[in-house]
Amino acid sequence: MAVTGGTAGVCFVSRLSIQRQEVNDRAKENAHVLQQERQRSQMASDLHDILGQDLTGLALKAELAGKLLENGQTDQARIEVQQVAELSRAALSDVRTVVSWAREWLIDGELEGAVNVLRSSGIAVHQDIAEDIYLQPQSSMMARILREASTNIVGHSRAKNCWITITRRSLLIDNDGYSKQLATQSAGSGAGLVGLRDLVSNVGRLTWGATEGHWIVEFEVNE
């Protein structure tokens, strides 16, 4: 059976579309791998810095306790041993914090989770997401902000719609369900958005507020 020019053209376009999709899929996979490598590298650096300081302190305290025991200063040695135990617990806590950060704050996972939770609550989600956000070093911070903001929307707003926009240098979460409870929740001190604002202050600016019935949370990376 002869293949007409029109049929051949359709087949060519179809193959080209499939090839483009495969290229895009591979690019996304590579971006994920690169992001994970960066996070592993950051975790290794953090562990080195934390454990280097903590283990140095432990070694000095242990040596001092040994010398005090040799000199018969048991009371002072007991104090040093107690401090060794405290430093050990602090070091363990620091390691757990670093590992927890690396495991938990992946922007793709947080975005998927936020969208699912919002939609399950009857909120329509509108997304505008840059393709290369996984490559950005600040994506982990954006992930934390996204989780906190989406949790507040579900728990304390009357939103019908939520708009999530992520670029290489910014994150915007806008919902149309402003309420005083939502504002009060975000304004609490020591945790939530306030705590995150302090955490990210060295790399960017986190703001939030009401505008014409909307509640907007925005993070912008410093120039």
Residue 199 to residues 31, 120, 203, 219, Cα–Cα distance (Å): 26, 30, 9, 12
Tell me the longest C-alpha to C-alpha distance in the chain: 102
Residue 31 in any domain: the answer is: no
- Cα angle: 188, vertex 190, 195; to 5 degrees: 95
Same domain for 115 and 211, yes or no, is yes
List Cβ neighbours of 184 (8 Å cut-off, separation of 6 or more).
Answer: none
CA–CA distance, 17 with 6 (Å, rounded to integer): 17
Question: Cβ(140)–Cβ(39) under 8 Å?
Answer: yes
pTM score of the predicted model: 0.57
Do 135 and 203 lie in one domain? The reply is yes
Among residues 69, 104, 139, which one ends one of the domains? Answer: 104
Domain that holds residue 208: 107-221
* Domain-located, residue 17: no
Residues 171 and 65 in one domain: no
CA dist 216 and 162 (Å) reads 10
60, 161: one domain: no
Say whether both 68 and 117 belong to one domain: no
CATH number at residue 62: 1.20.5
Q: Please say if the pLDDT value at position 123 is more than 90.
A: yes
Distance CA 168, CA 141 (A): 12
CATH number of the domain enclosing 135: 3.30.565.10
In this structure, is residue 45 part of a structural domain? yes
Domain finish residue from 66, 83, 104:
104
| Top mean-pLDDT range of 16-20, 24-28, 42-46, 191-195 | 191-195
Please tell me the least confidently modeled range out of 114-118, 126-130, 195-199. 195-199
Helices 192-200 + 139-156 axis angle, to 10: 170
The mean per-residue pLDDT over the stretch 189-217 comes to 85
d(CA 9, CA 102): 48
Over range 43-52, report the average pLDDT.
66
User: Could you tell me if residue 90 is inside a domain?
Assistant: yes
Domain count within the chain: 2
* Structural domain includes residue 126: yes
Average pLDDT over residues 88-103: 68
**Who wins on pLDDT, 98 or 127?**
127
Structure tokens of 26? 């591979």
Q: Confirm whether 93 is domain-assigned.
A: yes
Which structure tokens are listed for 10? 């359709």
Q: Write down the mean pLDDT value for the chain.
A: 79
Candidate ranges 56-70, 123-137, 207-221; pick with highest mean pLDDT: 207-221
Instruction: Give the SS3 label for residue 176.
Output: coil
- Residue 217 included in any domain: yes
Confidence of residue 193 (pLDDT cuts 50, 70, 90): confident
Contact 186, 153 (CB under 8 A): no
CA 196 to centroid of chain Cα atoms: 11
User: Within this chain, do residues 64 and 151 fall inside the same structural domain, yes or no?
Assistant: no
Residues 121 and 205 in one domain: yes
